[in-house]
């Protein structure tokens, strides 16, 4: 048991493989690409809006499609007012304050693993990033649920509490609402996939080298 524990400790302290470092560079670029596009996009189509209202959720702000004729975010908030839903205000969404810093933190610890890292560092980064991804999806769904279930009772139009779609196309009242990931979310998913690939490659190399060292020691003995 003590030998296995020692071998495991040595495995964690092995430096990461060169190709794993290449994947870490790609992962860092992918993670930072979240700042270049929306995390999520939503559109609202009805008979009154055959050209659907469109809204994009970025890492630090919300924006609606704007034309000479209308401001989609303003239109969406006006429609929400009629059914008693709170307006979508950036000041009410705390995630816009901390998420950019969290993404920047992950870029830094990926860089640290790239320059100084061992298998242990890479495991830590991958586990933390996976938790961040799962928490972010839960947090977004919770936001959607809260907006659709905390309706003002004195609203002009009464609707049953609902949850706007997290993913896909759903009809609510007379609106078809579509909700899909944007480029920023795909960038984060790619970053996570590259981290996992780098970890598997690093583990494979460390495991192979450890077994080769053990075999050499056994032959010498």
For residue 1, is it within any domain?
no
For residue 20, is it within any domain?
no
Q: What is d(CA 148, CA 52) in angstroms, rounded to the nearest whole number?
A: 20
pTM recorded for the entire structure: 0.86
For residue 12, is it within any domain?
no
pLDDT at site 212: 57
For residue 189, is it within any domain?
yes
Domain that holds residue 89: 29-206
Q: What is d(CA 51, CA 53) in angstroms, rounded to the nearest whole number?
A: 7
- Give the pairing type, strands 40-45 and 53-57: antiparallel
Q: Are 158 and 140 in contact (CB under 8 A)?
A: no
Residue with tokens 């704007």: 66
DSSP secondary structure of the chain: -HHHHHHHHHHHTSBPPHHHHHHHHHHHHHHHGGGGS-SEEEEEE-SS-SS-EEEEE-SS-EEE-B-SS-BHHHHHHHHHHHTTPPP--GGG-THHHHHHHHHHHHHHHHHHHHHH-BHHHHHHHHHHHHHHHHHHHHHHHHHHHHHHH---TT-SS--------SSEEEEETTEEEEEEE-HHHHHHHHHHHHHHHHHHHHHHHHHHHHHHHHHHHHHH-
Q: What is d(CA 126, CA 110) in angstroms, rounded to the nearest whole number?
A: 9
pLDDT at site 106: 94
Q: What's the maximum distance between 2 C-alpha atoms anywhere in the chain?
A: 86
For residue 215, is it within any domain?
no
Residues of the chain with pLDDT under 50: none
Q: Which residue, among 125, 144, 105, 123, has the nearest Cα to 13 in the 3D structure?
A: 123
For residue 53, is it within any domain?
yes
For residue 3, is it within any domain?
no
pLDDT at site 53: 95
Rg, C-alpha atoms of the chain: 24
For residue 216, is it within any domain?
no
Domain count, the chain: 1
């Amino acid at each position: 048991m003590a030998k296995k524990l020692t071998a495991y400790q040595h495995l964690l302290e092995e430096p990461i493989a060169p190709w794993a470092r290449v994947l870490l560079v790609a992962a860092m670029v992918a993670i930072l690409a979240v700042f270049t596009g929306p995390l999520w996009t939503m559109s609202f189509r009805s008979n009154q809006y055959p050209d659907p209202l469109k809204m994009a959720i970025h890492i630090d702000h919300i924006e609606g499609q704007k034309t000479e004729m209308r401001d989609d975010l303003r239109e969406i908030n006006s429609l929400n007012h009629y059914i008693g839903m709170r307006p979508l205000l950036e000041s009410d969404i705390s995630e816009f304050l901390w998420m950019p810093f969290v993404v920047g933190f992950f870029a830094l610890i990926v860089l640290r693993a790239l320059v100084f890292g061992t298998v242990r560092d890479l495991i830590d980064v991958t586990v933390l990033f996976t938790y961040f991804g799962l928490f972010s999806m839960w947090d977004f769904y919770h936001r959607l649920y809260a907006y659709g279930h905390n309706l003002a009772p004195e609203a002009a139009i009464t609707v049953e509490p609902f949850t706007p779609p997290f993913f896909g196309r759903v009809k609510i009242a007379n609106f078809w609402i579509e909700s899909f990931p944007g480029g920023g979310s795909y960038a984060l998913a790619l970053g996570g996939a590259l981290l996992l690939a780098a970890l598997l490659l690093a583990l494979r190399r460390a495991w192979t080298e450890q077994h080769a060292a053990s075999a050499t020691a056994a032959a010498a003995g």
